[in-house]
Amino acid sequence: MDFNTDEFFYGINKSLYYKTEEQKNEIKKMDPEYLTRTGTDFVLLPNSPDFINHNEPFEPMYIPKQTILEESLRREIERICFADTLLNKVVFDCADPSPFTKDVDPATYGLEVLPYYIPQSKEDSTLVFESRFESGNLRRAIQICDYEYNLILKPDYYTTMNTQWFYFSLSNTRKDVEYRFNIINMMKPDSLYNSGMKPLMYSEWGAKQKKIGWFRDGHEICYYQNNMKRKNGGFYYTLTFAVKFQYDFDCIYIAHCYPYTFTHLCRYLKQLESDPAKKNRVKRKQLCQTIAGNMCDFLIIGDFNNGKEKKGIVITSRVHPGETMASYVMEYMIDFLTGNTHEARILRENFIFKIVPMLNIDGVVNGNYRCNLAGVDLNRQWIDPNKKQHPTIYHTKQLVKKTKEERDLVLFCDIHGHSRKKNIFMYGCSGKDPNRKELVFPMLNRNNCSVFSFKDCCFLLQKDREGSARIALWRELSIINCYTLEMSFCGADFGKYEYFHFNLDIYKEIAQSFCLSIIDCYEPEQIKVKQVLEEIEQNSLKNQQKDDKNNSGDEGSDYSNDDPKEQAMPQQQQIQLQNNDQQLGSQTKKLKKIPLLPPKKKKGQ
State pLDDT tens for residues 382-393: 999 999 999 999
Question: What pLDDT, on a 0 to 100 scale, did the predictor assign at position 185?
Answer: 96
Question: What pLDDT, on a 0 to 100 scale, did the predictor assign at position 89?
Answer: 97
Q: What is the mean pLDDT of residues 333-350?
A: 97
Question: What pLDDT, on a 0 to 100 scale, did the predictor assign at position 32?
Answer: 79
Q: How far, in Å, CA of 482 to CA of 490, rounded?
A: 25
Residue 75: which of 205, 226, 188, 200 has the closest Cα?
Answer: 226
Neighbours of 145 (CB within 10 A): 13
Q: What is the mean pLDDT of residues 199-207?
A: 96
Neighbours of 502 (CB within 10 A): 29
The residue length of the chain stands at 605
Amino acid sitting at position 260: Y
- Asked if residue 448 has pLDDT above 70, the reply is yes
The CA–CA distances, whole Å, from 550 to 260, 334, 557, 588 equal 37, 38, 9, 26
- pLDDT category of residue 433 using cuts at 50, 70 and 90: confident
Mean pLDDT for the chain?
Answer: 88
- Asked if residue 522 has pLDDT above 70, the reply is yes
In sequence order, what are the beta bridge partners of 415? 317, 485
- Asked if residue 592 has pLDDT above 60, the reply is no
Of the candidates 134, 323, 331, 486, the residue annotated as catalytic is 486
Please compute, for residue 474, the number of CA atoms within 13 A of its CA located in the half-sphere on the CB side: 25
Lowest mean pLDDT among 4-8, 15-19, 566-570: 566-570
Question: What pLDDT, on a 0 to 100 scale, did the predictor assign at position 587?
Answer: 36
Lowest mean pLDDT among 19-33, 138-152, 271-285: 19-33
DSSP-based three-state secondary structure for 141: strand
- Asked if residue 591 has pLDDT above 80, the reply is no
Question: What pLDDT, on a 0 to 100 scale, did the predictor assign at position 544?
Answer: 55
- Asked if residue 594 has pLDDT above 70, the reply is no
Q: What is the mean pLDDT of residues 503-510?
A: 96
- Asked if residue 565 has pLDDT above 50, the reply is no
486 catalytically annotated? yes
- pLDDT category of residue 551 using cuts at 50, 70 and 90: low
**Report field, pTM of the whole predicted structure over 0.85:** yes
Residue 594: which of 184, 163, 155 has the closest Cα?
Answer: 184
- pLDDT category of residue 22 using cuts at 50, 70 and 90: confident
- pLDDT category of residue 296 using cuts at 50, 70 and 90: very high
Do residues 188 and 153 lie in contact, with contact meaning Cβ atoms separated by under 8 Å?
A: no
Q: What is the mean pLDDT of residues 454-464?
A: 93
- Asked if residue 570 has pLDDT above 70, the reply is no
**What percent of the chain is modeled with pLDDT above 70?**
88
Q: Which residue has the higher pLDDT, 415 or 574?
A: 415
Residues in Cβ contact with 233 at an 8 Å cutoff, skipping those fewer than 6 apart? none
- Asked if residue 602 has pLDDT above 50, the reply is no
- Asked if residue 556 has pLDDT above 50, the reply is no
pLDDT in tens, 69-88: 999 999 999 998 999 999 99
- Asked if residue 566 has pLDDT above 70, the reply is no
- pLDDT category of residue 309 using cuts at 50, 70 and 90: confident
Q: What is the mean pLDDT of residues 167-183?
A: 97
In sequence order, what are the beta bridge partners of 351? 311
- Asked if residue 4 has pLDDT above 70, the reply is no
- Asked if residue 97 has pLDDT above 50, the reply is yes
Q: What is the mean pLDDT of residues 460-470?
A: 93
Question: What pLDDT, on a 0 to 100 scale, did the predictor assign at position 547?
Answer: 56
